[in-house]
Amino acid sequence: MESVPDLGSSLRALEVMSAQPTASWTGSRRWWGSPDGIPALDVEGLALGAVQAAATALNALTGTMHRYSVAAGPTAAAFDSLGHLRIGGQKPEGFAPLSGFRRTADGWIRLHANYPHHAARLMEAVSASEPADVDRALLAMTSLEAEHLITGNNGVAAAVRTREEWTDSPMFEAASEGPWISFDHLGPSTKATRRSSWVPSAVPDRPLTGLKVLDLTRVIAGPVATRLLGALGADVLRIDPPHLPELTDAFIDSGFDKRSAEADFRNPDDLTAVMGLLETADVVVMGYRDGGLDRFGLTPGALLLRRADLVVVTLSAWGHAGPWQGRRGFDSLVQAACGIADRYGHFDDGGWRPGALPVQALDHATGYGLAAAVFALLAQRLGTGRGGTARLSLARTAEELLLLSTVSATDVDLPEPEYHEVDSPYGRLRYVGPPITVDGVPVGYQEPPVTYGSSALRWR
């Protein structure tokens, strides 16, 4: 059996992980390949390594009563969960028409306009009154000019760079530093503060029963992490702003085993209610752009000062330092900026065009890294009573992928997914389950997604 890249090496920064064996994995090792026979990046290795990190940390948290491991087939399916999802028999829409690669005067740019407010900002930035105007405007400027113009208007875009152009930039320096999972701070001494009484459950597939998780994430990576926490039994309460609703398909895909509430942090009553939840929360997962929640007092440091036993993990697109620290970003844009889109470029009837990974692997791998960080910090808390913080970024995950050896595009074996079905407020759902097994039995979702924003701002 081929080895899997040890993405979990950064977990050894915690003493609790030092004697913990790496979780095992079973199944095929090559699934996706690459277009036109291009030597592929080891996306499968990234996927298996990320889930393996989560399973390893979960074993450290729960002890030796049960063993959590990784199955290759469910991992392949889980990394394309939205692609496998069917809502009332219908396939999710995918990227919006304005999203995707567009030509510029000197190359290409990747746009992300799935959210209506991002589409509006894009159109405004390039003075477009209809979608066709966007293409004409972009052809009149360079990729970097377009990137600067769109992001300057709070839109979301990234010029397609070669790997060399990225590594020569200050953004690369910031994105590549440190381990994949960076454990930043431990909570202060708990001598004068309350100590959480939560301990793992003995129920094999629900070890997180009773754990209270505040989910302040959107899109894919953060919700993937909290979806796994919910599947393992945690009480996950996701909170979204009412003025910026989540895309329905994305919400359904990541909404299993969690509840959904709306709160406008600009409203003092809503913010007070959320702060009240924090008084008894065990975990906070934050996935907004770096600094996006600072003005509400929701920084990791402030939360730890408030609750020394709290576990706080954060996600950003471009890293927590450097010139793009607070810039908005998505998996597809990170691929464009760091050289992956250029690496997967190919020729079609219109000539050369950039390409993309077979799935949004940066999002999903980062999601399982977030879950691994939560498990590791909870394991530490069981022994010390102290919480702590950890951070990850999509750009750092991209660097982890690019550091892996390339693999042959041949010998590909895409496993057949195991589908499940359930009724939901959105109709009959077909979906795939989590990629983790316990004692060889797959972990499953217990509850379908609830209606968006229908839950109260309180714990179960």
User: Other C-beta atoms within 10 Å of 164: how many?
Assistant: 10
The residue type at 26 = T
pTM of the entire predicted model: 0.94
Rounded CA-CA distance 440/442 in Å is 7
Rounded CA-CA distance 414/423 in Å is 28
> 33-65: per-residue pLDDT in tens?
766 666 789 999 999 999 999 999 999 999 877
The pLDDT value recorded for residue 58 is: 95
Rounded CA-CA distance 359/413 in Å is 15
DSSP of 170-235, one letter per residue?
HHHHHHHSS-SSEEEEEPPP-TTS--------S-TT-TTTT-EEEEE--TTHHHHHHHHHHHTT-E
Helices (H) and strands (E) in the chain, counts: 16, 19
Decide: 369 and 53 in contact? Cβ < 8 Å.
yes
Residue 292, phi then psi, degrees to nearest 5 = -65, -25
The pLDDT value recorded for residue 413 is: 74
The pLDDT value recorded for residue 206 is: 96
Question: Which residues, given as ranges, of the chain have pLDDT below 70?
Answer: 1-20, 34-38, 185-195, 408-411
Rounded CA-CA distance 324/290 in Å is 9
Rounded CA-CA distance 22/381 in Å is 21
With a CB cutoff of 8 Å and minimum separation 6, the contacts of 339 are: 161, 162, 163, 164, 165, 166, 167, 402
Decide: 443 and 232 in contact? Cβ < 8 Å.
yes
Two structure tokens written together for 28: 């095929």
Q: What is the dihedral of CA 199, 204, 206, 211, to 10 degrees?
A: 10
Rounded CA-CA distance 365/46 in Å is 7
Rounded CA-CA distance 222/216 in Å is 8
Tell me, what DSSP letter sits at residue 90? B
The pLDDT value recorded for residue 16 is: 45
